[in-house]
Amino acid sequence: MPSRSNGLTAEMKAVRTLALVGAAVAGKTSLAEALLYKAGAIGACGSVERGSTVSDHDPLERRMLHSLNASVMHLTHAGTRIYLIDTPGGPDFLGQSLPALEAVETVAVVINAATGIEPMAIRMMEYAASRRLARMIIVNKIDAQGVSLSGLLADIQATFGRECLPLNVPDGVNRQVIDCFFNRFGRSDFGPVEAAHRALVEQVVEVDAAFVDRYLEKGDVDPSELHAPLEQALREGHLIPVCFASSRSGAGVAELLDVIVKLLPDPTEANPPSFIVGEGAEAMPMEAKPDSTLHVLAHVFKVTIDPYVGKMGIFRVHQGTVTRDSQLYIGDGRKPFKVGHLFMLQGKDHVEVSHALPGDIVAVAKVDEIHFDAVLHDAAEDSHVHLAPLPFPVPVYGLAVEPKRHGDEQRAWEILSKLAAEDPCLRIEHVAATNETVLYGLGELHLRIVLERLREVYRFDVQTRPPRIAYRETVTVPAEGHYRHKKQSGGAGQFAEVFLRIEPLARGAGFEFADEVRGGAIPGQFIPAVEKGVREVLAYGAIAGFPVADVRVVVYDGKHHSVDSKDIAFATAGRKAFMAAIREARPVVLEPIVQIEIAVPEHSVGDVTSDLSLRRGLVTGTSGLGSGTVAIGGQVPEAELADYQSRLNAMTSGQGRYTVALSHYEAVPPAVQQTLMERYRVREDD
């Protein structure tokens, strides 16, 4: 009688995991729908246009006719459970697409036969290669009018390498496909099937010297014997299979299911995930073994928070067995939670299961402590285990947000924090320099969708505007200021007189205040009041309404009155004397200059560097990143980047990305300073 362990191992080997990635026009959602229908998981194919697909179940997705979230589905074919993750194709939604790579053995890059290779396909192929995942290409919509599939295959090989070889080929003028791995006979739209078969077999046997010898001796090898070298070729990226299909007509869909079951790796055959133990320089690699009898290691790659249902964590089991009633720890948390219910997902529907093995993708609900990228485990020694971080693009497109109703600031922060918890490319920050709450994302569309969700799901309205630039004011030469404050209104009056001088400090030095009054001209108890008046100007500015920085103030003389001198009088005199001195010290407005790093395709370098110069930027250098990508380094005023992501997308066909970090402050050009000063005068008049 077979042991339970052997039974679980067999169950684990009958699992495949696949992420559908690529551009928004590739038809990933329709392809997932066709696979579900062909496998009998759904009774009829839904439609993106009608908003009836399994994966696009969010009301916003149905309205926009595009995927905005990663959606997990499952089906069974030939006794094998297949998990599909449909991912959004827009570059603004990489925070949803990239985490799906952590849950699968195989990444399927879907390409629209009519539109060809899109930038998102290239980008996701690079991400998948960096995580050492098996990769395949699915050419969808092969029955579109006027397509040249042979030409597209040549483009694929030119872009991704000669290791991209078809597992099946189109036939009947793109109306069906013919297997060319197990089958070597017949003709196709590409010519003799034997040529495609031979190319595949030769590519696979290259990874195993013994099979090379057999192939050279006999001229062929039985494909059914090539399972081990095939999996090795997939692991090493020596083979990237290409399959052809049409989600609309169903051509190639049944064959694609067979390919997934017969040829793609199961959880025991793929490269192990990149777990590490410890932090920083002391972190050490750790291998999670796809063994159901070991202690649990699972990774939370997606979190959803519903105001009515609560928080749900979706995770992939990499080691051990998770059952109902399991006690699991979250990362380095010391208090475990009990798995009350365990679900497989079918879009928005939950299917309760009793256990989950390595390879399974499941979810738990109503666990408040669970969070994105957490490692779930049942052993104390695994408290410092985590996955190597994904290279997420840095969110740099910002909007200042504030609630429409005064007093709702705390609730706004709480809701925005929940949305940020669902999306690793969404960041919320309170900017002290401008006293604003700023929401950062990957682009205008990204934040627009977030704000739509804020309104529709949480019924909360906010006002938005571009973030304020954290300008500053300073002085460039020494100067002196004097002010006598005298006020008499029948009763006790006010009197104070202050003489001070100011001088510029080095950039970033801040503020210094010194008392050099001699002979009690200003009694010591009033000096703090003088400093208070000076600091009021520091906070609110003197010429354009921005904080004053990098200045030294020395109070050296003054007068007082034994009866009428008060703190308020010396604070007023100090403020007025400081402002008078600033006006004589050639004041300037400073603007933040950021260090910018831009990654662009080689063919876009000229356009990007020219545009950077038009934005008062300075290019400091370029370097190759490989795969036809160039990094451009430079410095540019932060004020010039308000629309930069949109412009960069236009110049690079959506392939460009950038990061910024504050470098230093510089004086703005005179024309810009004049504009800022005039705006300030208008505000003062109002």
Q: How far apart are CA 371 and CA 276, in angstroms?
A: 18
**330 phi and psi angles, rounded to 5 deg:** -110, 105
Query: For 11-200+239-263, CATH number?
Result: 3.40.50.300
Is residue 292 within 8 A of residue 8, CB to CB? The reply is yes
> Residue 5 has what pLDDT?
57
Mean pLDDT computed over 489-509: 88
Q: How far apart are CA 308 and CA 306, in angstroms?
A: 5
Is residue 16 within 8 A of residue 85, CB to CB? The reply is no
Q: How far apart are CA 135 and CA 233, in angstroms?
A: 10
Of 292, 315, 290, residue with least CA distance to 302: 315
Would the pLDDT of 4 be above 70?
no
Q: How far apart are CA 106 and CA 264, in angstroms?
A: 7
Residues, the chain: 686
Task: Dump pLDDT digits (tens) for 558-616.
Answer: 999 888 889 999 999 999 999 999 999 999 999 999 999 888 888 899 999 999 999 99
Architecture of domain 397-465: 2-Layer Sandwich (3.30)
Output the six-digit token pair for 56: 């696009």
Residue given tokens 């959004």 in the structure block = 88
> Residue 9 has what pLDDT?
75
Output the six-digit token pair for 358: 């390595």
Q: How far apart are CA 300 and CA 322, in angstroms?
A: 13
SS3 269: coil
Q: Which amino acid is at 589?
A: V
Q: How far apart are CA 633 and CA 620, in angstroms?
A: 5
Of 15, 54, 2, 13, residue with least CA distance to 32: 54
Ramachandran class of 51: left when φ > 0, alpha when ψ lies in -120 to 50, beta otherwise: left
> Residue 490 has what pLDDT?
64
Q: Read off the DSSP letter of residue 270.
A: S
SS3 282: helix
Give domain limits for the chain: 11-200+239-263, 287-387, 397-465, 472-585, 589-673
Q: How far apart are CA 621 and CA 609, in angstroms?
A: 10
Q: How far apart are CA 641 and CA 661, in angstroms?
A: 12
Q: What angle do CA 167, 169, 173 make, to 5 degrees?
A: 165
Q: How far apart are CA 72 and CA 87, in angstroms?
A: 9
SS3 264: coil
Q: How far apart are CA 72 and CA 486, in angstroms?
A: 75
What CATH superfamily is the domain 287-387? Translation factors (2.40.30.10)
Task: Dump pLDDT digits (tens) for 651-666.
Answer: 988 788 888 888 889 9
> Residue 2 has what pLDDT?
44
Q: How far apart are CA 577 and CA 293, in angstroms?
A: 78
Task: List b or e across 426-465, with b for residues whose CB sees 16 or more CB atoms inside 10 angstroms.
Answer: bbbeeeeebebbbbbbbbebbbebbbebbeebbebebeee
Q: How far apart are CA 236 and CA 371, in angstroms?
A: 32
> Residue 212 has what pLDDT?
86
Cα 670 to its chain centre, rounded Å, is 38
Cβ atoms within 10 A of the Cβ of 322, count? 23
Would the pLDDT of 674 be above 60?
yes
Would the pLDDT of 47 be above 50?
yes
Helix (H) or strand (E) holding 460: none
Q: How far apart are CA 209 and CA 164, in angstroms?
A: 21
| Whole-Å CA distances, 415 to 310, 348, 411, 419, 441 | 13, 22, 6, 6, 16
DSSP 491-555: SS-EEEEEEEEEEE--TT--EEEEE---TTSS-GGGHHHHHHHHHHHHHH-SSSSS-B-SEEEEE
To 10 degrees, what angle do helices 209-218 and 193-205 make? Answer: 140
Would the pLDDT of 3 be above 70?
no
Q: How confident is the model at residue 6 (pLDDT cuts 50, 70, 90)?
A: low
Q: How far apart are CA 490 and CA 340, in angstroms?
A: 78
Cα 600 to its chain centre, rounded Å, is 17
Output the six-digit token pair for 39: 């496998």
Given the DSSP bridges, would you call strands 240-244 and 134-140 parallel, antiparallel or unpaired? parallel
Of 96, 76, 77, residue with least CA distance to 86: 96
Residue given tokens 């909360």 in the structure block = 460
Q: How far apart are CA 287 and CA 175, in angstroms?
A: 45
DSSP 144-200: STT--HHHHHHHHHHHH-TTEEESEEEETTTTEEEE-SS---SEETTEEHHHHHHHH
Task: Dump pLDDT digits (tens) for 347-403.
Answer: 999 999 999 999 999 999 999 899 999 999 998 888 899 998 888 888 888 899 999
Mean pLDDT computed over 14-39: 95
> Residue 629 has what pLDDT?
81
Same fold, 397-465 and 589-673: yes
CATH of the structural domain 472-585, one choice from 3.30.230.10, 3.40.50.300, 3.90.79.10, 3.40.630.30: 3.30.230.10
Would the pLDDT of 84 be above 50?
yes
To 10 degrees, what angle do helices 605-614 and 644-652 make? Answer: 150
Average pLDDT, the chain: 91
Query: For 589-673, CATH number?
Result: 3.30.70.240
Task: Dump pLDDT digits (tens) for 93-129.
Answer: 999 999 999 999 999 999 999 999 888 898 899 999 9
Q: How far apart are CA 560 and CA 578, in angstroms?
A: 18
> Residue 281 has what pLDDT?
78
Output the six-digit token pair for 685: 């008049």
Output the six-digit token pair for 7: 């039974």
C-alpha atoms less than 13 angstroms from C-alpha of 172 in its C-beta half-sphere: 9
> Residue 394 has what pLDDT?
82
Given the DSSP bridges, would you call strands 397-403 and 361-365 parallel, antiparallel or unpaired? unpaired
Cα 27 to its chain centre, rounded Å, is 22
Ramachandran class of 654: left when φ > 0, alpha when ψ lies in -120 to 50, beta otherwise: left
Q: How confident is the model at residue 1 (pLDDT cuts 50, 70, 90)?
A: very low
Is residue 111 within 8 A of residue 126, CB to CB? The reply is no
Cβ atoms within 10 A of the Cβ of 8, count? 17
Task: Dump pLDDT digits (tens) for 427-486.
Answer: 999 887 788 899 999 888 899 999 999 998 888 999 999 898 889 999 999 999 999 999
Output the six-digit token pair for 71: 């959606």
Output the six-digit token pair for 27: 């038809």
